[in-house]
Each structure stands twice: as C-alpha cells, then as structure tokens.
Structure 1
Amino acid sequence: MPPGSASGVPGYSEVRLDHVTKDFGGTKGLDDVSVAFEAERVTVLLGLSGSGKSTLLRHINGLQQPTSGRVIVRGESVERASGRALKALRREIGFIFQHFHLVESMSVLENVCTGTLGGLRGPRLSLMSYPKAIRRQAYEQLERVGLAERAYQRADTLSGGQQQRVAIARALVQRPKILLADEPVASLDPVSAAQVMELITRISREESLTVVCSLHQVQTALTHADRIVGLRAGRIVLDRATADIGREEALSIYDSVAAATPEAATSDSAPAAPAGAATSAPGGH
C-alpha cells in the first residue's frame, strides 16, 4: 500500500480525478471532471457511446493521460508515474474488457496465468513455463468463477459468458485492489450478463475491491451498483447512491433521447444515439 493510503477505512477514496480534461484535438473526451471512487463500492458509469465512460476508465490505469488535471490512484499521481512506478501501479488495477481479449488457441488455465505477466521476468512460452504457485493460484480463481472443470480446454471452445468469466479470473489472479470493467456484459445474452454482474458484485464484496464499471443497461446498473455516475459529453450529470435513484432519473442521463424514445421506458438497454449524436473520439470513450 502506498504511503499515506488508508484502504479499508470507510469513505477512503482509492481513486480520484481532480478537474480532469482530455482533449482529443478539439473533441473533449472528459471536460473538467472531478470524481472520487471509494473503496469497497461498486460504481457504474452510465451514458451514451462517446459520453466519456471508457476514457475515464483508461485514465485510471494510465492508458490515457489527461490534457489537464490530476488522476490519483491509491495515493499515487498516475500522470506523473512512469516506468517501474506505473508498472507497479497497474499491477494493483485489474481490467475487464467487453471483448474478453483471450488468446483463443491457449487453454483456459494459461489465459488466466497471463494475468501475472506484469510481475514476471521474461516471456512465457507455455502453461508449464509459469511457476507452479501461479498455476495453482490461476486454478483457484477458475474454481471461484465456476470454470475449474474447463481449465484445460481451449478458450475458443467456451461460450461468451464463460469467456468473460475467464477474463474475470485473469484479472483477479493479479490480486488487484481496484477492478475496472469496460462494458463487460455488452456482448452477452441477458442470462449470462446477469451471471457476470452478480459475479463481479460478489467478488468485490469478498475482496473489498473498488469497482468502477461502465454499462449501457440501465436496469442492470440499478440492480448491481452501489452508486451511479452519469456522463454526458464528457461531463458528470448525475452522481448518487443507487438506492436514491429511480429508473426515470437514470434514463434522464441520456437527456432528450430518453424522452423522445417510447421504448426507453421499458427497454433494459440505454437508447441508441440519434443521428448526429457524439461518437467516440480516438481511443474510444
């Protein structure tokens, strides 16, 4: 734990953005965003494509640098970290992506082992080139996500929901303090999506993780999040505990789109952007 941090203290912010702006050559992915994410809470980011959700997540682990402002993670300034310091910080941040990013020709177990590469020296050419302790830890994480019996199957033989659970195990094997998830259920069917979100929520409690997750599905966010942060055009337009937010207010994050789309009141998914709406800037957000 970095000097001065206080993980486990109620109200302590593991992650903080102070007046962060990201300018993509005239298009602002983030526009003067100040927000803090507390330890042991699941926060869901809601908003249209292009609203800044992915850009915010990528600033937390240093994949993108702010044009101005500061990003503080576990007491460390991300934009000032480089080399070893940035590598060490990223080892404490697990990242789950929409499209899994598994190596399809590898076994499930070896894919999970790759989550430890940031702490190992040299390349790994096969499953058996990983230390025995890491292979054991990877297997334990597969047990945790209910896929231990698939450990030696090729990753491309699994369903989409199963592959996302492997991706979660891969993130967990590095023993992160912070878990970022960028649209982790967008490509899954409703049943698989519910299973994945329930898994993320349960593990966040068990591990006391700080979870920041972007979603499009309003009802899924209301069901699983402790807190919802709404983004529109790079700005925060809503930030409140989920228990204090109704469905209509959550849909209001999408501004006039929600009001103008009749199916928005009943659809679980956020309404699609109308013609002319902002699209993702380079790097996606």
Structure 2
Amino acid sequence: MSEEPVVGFDRVSKAFDGGVRALDEVSLRVGAGELLVLLGLSGSGKSTLLRHVDGLQRATSGTVTVLGRDVGRLRGSELRSLRRRVGFVFQQFHLVGSLTVLENVCTGALGTLRGPRLGLFTYPRRVRHAAMERLERVGLADQAMQRADTLSGGQQQRVAVARALLQRPEILLADEPVASLDPDSAAQVMNLIAEIGREDGLTVVCSLHQVDLALSWGHRIVGLRSGRVVLDTPVHGLSREEAMSIYSKVGSELSGVGP
C-alpha cells in the first residue's frame, strides 16, 4: 500500500434522523491498486461507507479524503470532477431496459458531455467507440444492439461494469454487485471486476455478503458491525471461520483489527 491513501476515513461518523448511527468512528486507509472487501450484516454500514467515498452522503463528523481531496469540502464542479474519477457499480444494475446495451454504456460518459442525449447516435463517435471497447472487455460486444432488458442478470451487471469503466475511473466502488445473481454468474462478475482491477491498477472497494467470494477475490477484508470496524486484515491467512465470525460476534471486536 502506498504511503498516501487513495481513500481515507478519519474517525468518520454518520448519524441519520432519529439518532441512528450508520457509521461510528470509522478510520480506514485504502491504498492504490488495493482490492478491499467490506463484509457485514445488512444495516452494518457497508453501503453508507461506499456512498461517502464519492460524496453521495456526507459525514456527520470526521474526514473523508479521496484522491487527496477532502470530500466534505467539495461542492459543485469540484465534486463532479471527483465523481468522474470514481466508478460505481450497484446491486440493481440501474440500466434502462428499453435502451440498447451500447447506449446504456454510453451513459457513463454523460458527466463529460453537455446537454441531454436522445438516442445512441446523439453521442459522439469517440464515445460510441469507447463504449464498444468496454463491451468487448466484458465479453458482450455481440449483444451491443440488444435491449438491455433481454439480458440475464449476470450480463446486465457486466454492462453496468462496462458503463463504469467508460469513465476511466481511478477508483471502482461496487455495492453488493452480485447479491441478486446465481453462484456461477456471481463468480463470473467478481472475477471480471478483479481482473480489470489488476490490469488497470484500479483501487476497488466492494461490499459483499458471500464470504467465499471475498476470500478468493480480495486483498483485504474489513468487517463492519453496527457502523464500527470490527475486523481489518489481509485475506492471506484468514480462515473462512474467522471471516464468518463477523456475522456471529455481537458487541465485541474481533482479532485482526487494524490500527
């Protein structure tokens, strides 16, 4: 890991209406090129943590730094500029089913274009060409002109990955990207994300529920419970039982918590 983190959380807390604390004094550093997996029960704070990285949510207290910028201080064009450097893959794909696969990928360039786009051929040729390159990379170039809603769930998530890659991100966030997929499709999508991360030198932060996938894919696992970091350890040498203990131990920290 590099000295200067790509993503840094310094005693970050997030409280919602009613006093619910989604994050509680979280401190975390993610280095360049690292593949970090967040594990934890539903409601443990995984999605909230990811949404702080690109400013979709803002900390109640503490500091979030991304690519050397204090996210909490960014507004307007500065925040949009940061978000262009951070790709996001969501659990529910967020594709427009009535549009072609290629046009869905092209929407990943909207942050760099002026004005709305109505139809595939209103995108510049360079964007369409780049989108086709991303589809080739995820193995879906042959489906470019199909409606997105004709694809399987695993294929739709690969389209979502291609769309995120069109931004040429330095960081890729993935919020339970395989939660709705069958085991074979889930493994394919996670292997694809890991391969792209390695080849492009991306920093990847991904939340998962599947412990086996996390152990086979990630460099490091961070376990969350009730908004607190209860485990922070490299995957190497971590047993499945130790990883599963994130889900079974309540109210106490686990071994391997980082500084």
Tell me the TM-score normalised to structure 2 length. 0.95
For the Cα contact (< 8 Å) 1:20–1:32, is it kept in 2?
Answer: yes
Match of 1:43 in 2: 36
Runs of 4+ aligned residues of structure 1 deviating over 6 Å after TM superposition are none
SS class of match (2:213): helix
For the Cα contact (< 8 Å) 1:11–1:39, is it kept in 2?
Answer: no
Cα distance between partner residues in 2 of 1:11 and 1:94? 23
Identical columns (%): 64
Query: What's the offset of the Cα at 1:244?
Result: 2.5
Query: What's the offset of the Cα at 1:254?
Result: 1.0
Gap runs ≥5 in structure 2: 251-259
Match of 1:4 in 2: none
Tell me the TM-score normalised to structure 1 length. 0.86
Match of 2:80 in 1: 87
Query: What's the offset of the Cα at 1:58?
Result: 0.3
Give runs of aligned pairs for residues 188-267 of structure 1, distance below 5 A. 188-256=181-249
Out of 8, 11, 26, the position equivalent to 1:16 is: 8
Once structures 1 and 2 are overlaid, which stretch shifts more, 18-27 or 170-179?
Answer: 18-27
Cα distance between partner residues in 1 of 2:100 and 2:52? 31
Query: What's the offset of the Cα at 1:11?
Result: 4.6
SS class of match (1:200): helix
Cα distance between partner residues in 2 of 1:100 and 1:24? 26
Give runs of aligned pairs for residues 62-73 of structure 1, distance below 5 A. 62-73=55-66
Corresponding position: 1:56 with 2:59: no
Match of 1:123 in 2: 116
Cα distance between partner residues in 2 of 1:12 and 1:135? 35
Cα distance between partner residues in 1 of 2:3 and 2:239? 24
Match of 1:113 in 2: 106
Out of 125, 129, 149, the position equivalent to 1:156 is: 149
Out of 173, 182, 198, the position equivalent to 1:180 is: 173
Query: What's the offset of the Cα at 1:10?
Result: 3.7
Cα distance between partner residues in 2 of 1:206 and 1:121? 31
SS class of match (2:196): helix
SS class of match (1:245): coil
Query: What's the offset of the Cα at 1:245?
Result: 1.1
- Aligned residue pair count: 249
Q: Which residue identity does 2:175 align to in structure 1? A: D
Q: Which residue identity does 2:12 align to in structure 1? A: V
Q: Deviations over 1:144-173 (max 9, x none)?
A: 000000000000000000000000000000
SS class of match (1:48): coil
Cα distance between partner residues in 1 of 2:36 and 2:56? 20
Q: Deviations over 1:89-132 (max 9, x none)?
A: 00000000000000000000000000010111100001000000
